[in-house]
Structure 1
Amino acid sequence: MKNLVLLIGNDINNISRGQSWKDLLQDVITFCHAGDCVQLDDKKPFPLLYEEIFLTASKNHKIRERDLKSFIAIKAAEIQGNSIHSAIRALRPAHILTTNYEFTLEGSTPLENTSLINEKFYSIFRRYRVGDTNYWHIHGDCLNPMSINLGFEHYGGQLQLMRNYVVSGTVYTSKEVPKPSLLRRIHAKEVYFHSWIDLFFTDDIHIFGLSLDFVETDLWWLLTYRARQKFHHKNVPVHNKIYYYIPEEYVAASKYKLDLLTANDVTIIALPGKDKLAYYESIVKGLGKTPQSSFHGCESR
């Protein structure tokens, strides 16, 4: 579909056979020789759990973060694609944003980084173009292990640069990077999609396969700031729509999060989700039609 923009998370990978996220965490703890000190606990926010694992390993075994993230990058690269990845590519979306580190969405490892600048650590401009689609790895990619966004400190740095880009302007030395803030460029009608962040203020975005836990502070800040611009500050026009897809079976238990998303001008679309493969097939099939009408009759908030 022309100009289709997707934001896709890790859950589509769970259809493929292989390690679960918990298995990966246990492998990371083993790699860091931290099994006697670190215990997995659902009450620990993951970015802080990562800091616990890394700092324990750094203190006790002098493990470098570069080595740890290289290990994680190798593990991520082992994830196999499935029929949903192929179906998404068949839509030929204009942009795919993903929090995933591997290249299953692309179908193969890209040969060229087409970002505005070559980012080693953060991911404001991290883009690969394959065919007619721009792929934005907003939390880093496994070709650049230090870019993989896992820890609390990394999230903080990413958010700082995101806010600069949107609100106050950038300080990059590259002449290719626009210096005025995104808000100023929207006013001047000079938005050229330098960054994936631009799309949150300009194009409809469909989010699926992403739990949007509250540890995703960068994305929650962006949703909140966009909503404030639309309803409160009104410094720039915000006419695009954002859709969040969720299995019907999760709606009741996720009411607290869905209420917050609704307050932030996100439209909720619930679909039958007992069969994970069928759930994602229904989303992709609907997106192959006109987005505004393809999910008519589904529960929305």
Structure 2
Amino acid sequence: MDAILYGNGFNLLSENCPSWQDLLTNISDKDQSPILNGIPPTLQYEQVYLAPHSSFSNISDGKDETRLKEAVKRRLSAIKSNEFYDRLLNLGVTSFLTTNYDHAIYDNLENRVIDKNYAEKIYSIKRWKKVNINNLDYTIFQFHGDITNVRSIMLGLDHYGGALARIQDYVKGYFSEKIEDKKKRANSEGELSIAKRLTSKIEFDSINYGFTDNGTQLVSWIDAFFFANLHIIGITLDFSEIDIWWLLSRRARLLKNGYIKNQVYYYPTFPMSEIHCHLPKLRLLERMGVKVIYHKQTLDIEKGYTDYPKIYNEQIDNMERLINILP
């Protein structure tokens, strides 16, 4: 099966979509605690929240952080869909993972949501929704949270760290809602770990682990990194994305041991004239067994800007070609 992981790059192709910097700047106290440059985005968020003179610096009961995330929600709720989302939805793939919190892929039309699992309040190991668009059903895993539940919006390092711990539990076979299973965890060898599922073809009992049927072959979005041909596009893969990088690293270890059979593809969407800024990351991805698919677009010197629509169209063409030839 194929799955697509898309990021905020698709939103940035729509009008009036704020960049990460714009988003943080608009919700911060610009004069009291201006955004610090040169630090990871996750820590930029922590700075907005924790700066001594910030409006959101009172962390005694957590209500201020909810208020901060409500401000984020207001900025993201108005993002509209665009033709590039339409192209993704027409590739014949019905399983989507996203780092986006918004609902732009189905144009904010909540009547298109026909089923969902919103049981988790803060983290998103089990979170999914099924949407119907043009009489086709798509399953969407918003693993960085959903603006429907602002507490789930994953922004700062604290939230990323907690999410990574739960991802590690799932991959190692320790993720369970059962109290008796948690008591046995110290002596467990992870009988339902990803590694054992790959080597022993164990059927994962989703009911015992508190999961619900999402209509795909994926029990959790995490499975896509190990059991699906995963296509990653519209995301810069900043090193602050510790959850994604940990999963790619874990997959690379299993690949080295001969366990992995799936493919992971990364489709960069920066102009090729800027490739020197990204080479270390791209080389690392390739060493981790990720296939990097390059496009041919570059900076338009005469016009003085990057034609991102051309880049995305070419990369979606490349993705379509690979999806159609993969077994």
TM-score, length-scaled by structure 1: 0.85
Q: CA RMSD in A?
A: 2.5
**What residue in structure 1 maps to residue 94 of structure 2?**
94
Contact 2:286 2:292 in 1 (8 A): yes
SS in 2 for 1:59: coil
Contact 2:7 2:100 in 1 (8 A): yes
**What residue in structure 2 maps to residue 269 of structure 1?**
293
User: What amino acid does structure 1 have at the position aligned with 2:196?
Assistant: R
Contact 2:252 2:288 in 1 (8 A): yes
Give the whole-Å Cα distance in 2 for the aligned partners of 1:150 and 1:61.
16
- The answer to whether the aligner puts 1:105 opposite 2:105 as a matched pair is yes
Aligned residue runs from structure 1 range 2-151, under 5 A: 3-21=1-19, 22-29=21-28, 34-56=29-51, 57=54, 58-59=56-57, 64-107=64-107, 108-109=109-110, 110-115=112-117, 118-131=119-132, 132-151=137-156
**Residue 286 (structure 1) shift:** 3.1
**Residue 105 (structure 1) shift:** 1.4
Contact 1:92 1:133 in 2 (8 A): no
Q: Deviations over 1:65-86 (max 9, x none)?
A: 1111111112111111111011
**Residue 92 (structure 1) shift:** 3.5
Contact 2:197 2:203 in 1 (8 A): yes
**What residue in structure 2 maps to residue 214 of structure 1?**
239
User: What amino acid does structure 1 have at the position aligned with 2:144?
Assistant: H
Per mean C-alpha deviation after superposition, the further-off stretch among 146-155 and 103-112 is 103-112
Contact 1:200 1:226 in 2 (8 A): yes
Contact 2:123 2:152 in 1 (8 A): yes
Give the whole-Å Cα distance in 2 for the aligned partners of 1:174 and 1:243.
38
**Residue 163 (structure 1) shift:** 0.2
**Residue 61 (structure 1) shift:** 9.4
**What residue in structure 1 maps to residue 211 of structure 2?**
none
**What residue in structure 1 maps to residue 161 of structure 2?**
156
Contact 1:89 1:106 in 2 (8 A): no
SS in 2 for 1:135: strand
User: What amino acid does structure 2 have at the position aligned with 1:289?
Assistant: R
Task: Give structure 1 stretches of 5+ with no counterpart.
Answer: 295-301
- The answer to whether the aligner puts 1:283 opposite 2:315 as a matched pair is yes
TM-score, length-scaled by structure 2: 0.79
Residues 128, 100 of structure 1: CA spacing in aligned structure 2 closer, same or farther, 3 A cutoff?
same
**What residue in structure 1 maps to residue 208 of structure 2?**
none
Q: Deviations over 1:278-301 (max 9, x none)?
A: 21112223333343769xxxxxxx
Contact 1:139 1:148 in 2 (8 A): yes
**Residue 17 (structure 1) shift:** 0.9
User: What amino acid does structure 1 have at the position aligned with 2:97?
Assistant: L
**Residue 179 (structure 1) shift:** 8.4
Per mean C-alpha deviation after superposition, the further-off stretch among 130-139 and 242-251 is 242-251
Give the whole-Å Cα distance in 1 for the aligned partners of 2:87 and 2:151.
30
Contact 2:113 2:130 in 1 (8 A): no
- The answer to whether the aligner puts 1:223 opposite 2:248 as a matched pair is yes
SS in 1 for 2:27: helix
Residues 25, 113 of structure 1: CA spacing in aligned structure 2 closer, same or farther, 3 A cutoff?
farther
Q: Deviations over 1:38-68 (max 9, x none)?
A: 2223302111111111123343698611111
Contact 2:4 2:93 in 1 (8 A): yes
Give the whole-Å Cα distance in 2 for the aligned partners of 1:292 and 1:256.
30
**Residue 189 (structure 1) shift:** 3.1
Residues 171, 20 of structure 1: CA spacing in aligned structure 2 closer, same or farther, 3 A cutoff?
same
**What residue in structure 1 maps to residue 209 of structure 2?**
none
User: What amino acid does structure 1 have at the position aligned with 2:195?
Assistant: L
Contact 1:170 1:181 in 2 (8 A): no
Give the whole-Å Cα distance in 1 for the aligned partners of 2:143 and 2:71.
20
**Residue 182 (structure 1) shift:** 3.1
Aligned residue runs from structure 1 range 183-194, under 5 A: 183-186=195-198, 187-191=200-204, 192-194=217-219
Residues 288, 59 of structure 1: CA spacing in aligned structure 2 closer, same or farther, 3 A cutoff?
closer
Aligned residue runs from structure 1 range 246-265, under 5 A: 246=268, 247=270, 248-265=272-289
**What residue in structure 2 maps to residue 299 of structure 1?**
none
Task: Give structure 2 stretches of 5+ with no counterpart.
Answer: 181-189, 205-216, 298-305
**Residue 203 (structure 1) shift:** 1.1
